[in-house]
Each structure stands twice: as structure tokens, then as C-alpha cells.
Amino acid sequence: MKICPRCGSKNVDWIIPQNWSVWECKDCDYTGPIIEGNKRIAEEIKEDYEVTLKKEKAKKKKYSENKEEYEEKEIEKDLTDEEIDRRLDNLDI
């Protein structure tokens, strides 16, 4: 059985006849080579993929909760040397 290496789905299609190794998964939009496997392997991949999705969702939630803090850090990374000096002068350091 042909399965998606990212999500374990059997819902894959061969998309480029000239290139036998390029397939597309209709469930997770993966494009690339697929693997031959059995139901057990597909279930293991699916479980790992679900764990990965949960982690990504938690990461996005954490980011959205602390968005202002992340944005401040990003802004500070983009400061010029002159801006840093000005801010330090304002702090009397």
C-alpha cells in the first residue's frame, strides 16, 4: 500500500507521469516521494503526525497569547546602532 510519509494517509496521487517519484497527498498537501507500507506503519506515522500538529497548535496558541512580547523582541533585533545608543542615553547608562 502506498502511504504519505508525513501523515500516513493512503489518499495519495501520482502527479507527474514523467517522474515516478513525485506524489501528492490529498490530506496534508505533502509533495514528494511516498513509501510502501502496511496498515501498522500508516497508523504509526499518523499518530506521530497528530502529535506534531498538536505541538504546532500549542506553539501558535502560546505565540498569540504573548504576541506583544514576541513583537517587542523582534523590533529590538532590528534597531540600528544609533537607535541603541539613543535609548541607552535616555536610560542614563
Mind listing the pLDDT tens digit for each residue in 52-69?
A: 999 998 888 877 777 666
Give percent above pLDDT 90 in the chain: 52
* Predicted pLDDT at 27: 95
In this prediction the pTM is 0.62
Position 37 in a domain: yes
- Whether 35 is covered by a domain: the verdict is yes
Judge whether 70 lies within some domain: no
For the four alpha carbons of 37, 22, 29 and 13, in that order, the dihedral sign comes to negative
In 1-93, which residue ranges form alpha helices assigned H by DSSP? 39-65, 67-77, 81-90
Cα dist. 75→14, 21, 60, 79, 82 in Å? 45, 43, 19, 7, 14
Say if 79 falls within a structural domain: no
Residue bearing the bigger pLDDT, 72 or 37:
37
Domain housing 15: 2-65
Residue 21 in any domain: the answer is yes
- DSSP summary character for residue 14: E
Count up the domains in the chain and report the number.
1
**91 located within any domain:** no
> How many alpha carbons lie under 13 Å from residue 34 in its C-beta half-sphere?
29
